[in-house]
Structure 1
Amino acid sequence: MAAAQVRRPGGPLMPRAPKHCGHPDCTTPVRGTSYCPSHRNKWTSTGRTASSQLHDSTEWRQARRTYMAGATRCEAQLTHRCTGQPEQCDMIRPASQGGQITPHNLQAICRPCHAVKTRRERA
């Protein structure tokens, strides 16, 4: 059965009634989609960075969990405020610079050291 049609009990297929475009204040009728042609998303990419795509992956979550299970101290020790307690898992070479999820590219790091490292990378 086609997605834009409804079967009435004991009757023929009937076309679905058009709905209004999902954009606020637009009353253009649409069928089989949520938005009219002038309000459809025209983005060519997802708008997400390589880092955000990588850090939302199952591969990253598993690698982080495995690596942090064996972490006992902050591996960076970049600041005098270093707590020594690893709280976060960090990529030594960031994804934005082509870093991969490998044990050699991960480090257990405390929050103060991670803040310093991130600030340096963005400068």
Structure 2
Amino acid sequence: MPRRPASPCRARLCGNLTRERHGYCEEHADLAKPWTRGRGGRGRGGRPWRRLRRQVLERDQYLCQRCRRAGRAAEASEVDHIVPTAEGGATAGHNLEALCGPCHKAKTLEEAQRARQRGG
């Protein structure tokens, strides 16, 4: 079987050549990530998340909880963490709430701004 042609290492500023499938030379082989499916075992996705999402929407009666607290009524289309996972929140029913699209977008922007202020 013919050998694989040599190609430049995928590591930034590395001039070495490699024949490895992952594209990294021996020096940078630790940068190669194993192939993972979907989200790599983290976060949401799949049947368990869909079930939990449906349970939260039913519990909150398909109403945006932020709008409800402000005295308005809006149909919820998203389910979001009350305490973000990046801040130590769990992906469990007690830490999830139903939100409408605009509230979800505003909340995500607030969280991103907080993360930038924290420096992470």
| CA deviation profile, 1:62-116 (whole Å, cap 9, x unmatched) | 3113322443211111898x66100000110111111111111110100111122
Distance 1:36 1:116, change over 3 A: closer
Runs of 4+ in 1 over 6 A off after TM superposition: none
Rg larger for: 1
5+ long unaligned stretches in structure 2: 10-16, 34-40, 114-120
5+ long unaligned stretches in structure 1: 1-15, 45-51
Of the candidates 77, 88, 94, which is equivalent to residue 87 of structure 1? 77
SS of 2:54's equivalent?
helix
SS of 1:89's equivalent?
strand
Give the TM-score normalised by the residue count of structure 2: 0.58
Number of residue pairs aligned between Structure 1 and Structure 2: 96
Give the TM-score normalised by the residue count of structure 1: 0.56
1:60 aligns with 2:45: no
Report which of the two has the higher share of helix.
2
The CA RMSD measured in Å over matched residues stands at: 3.6
- Structure 1 residues 62-77: aligned runs within 5 Å: 62-70=51-59, 71-77=61-67
Of the candidates 97, 103, 106, which is equivalent to residue 116 of structure 1? 106
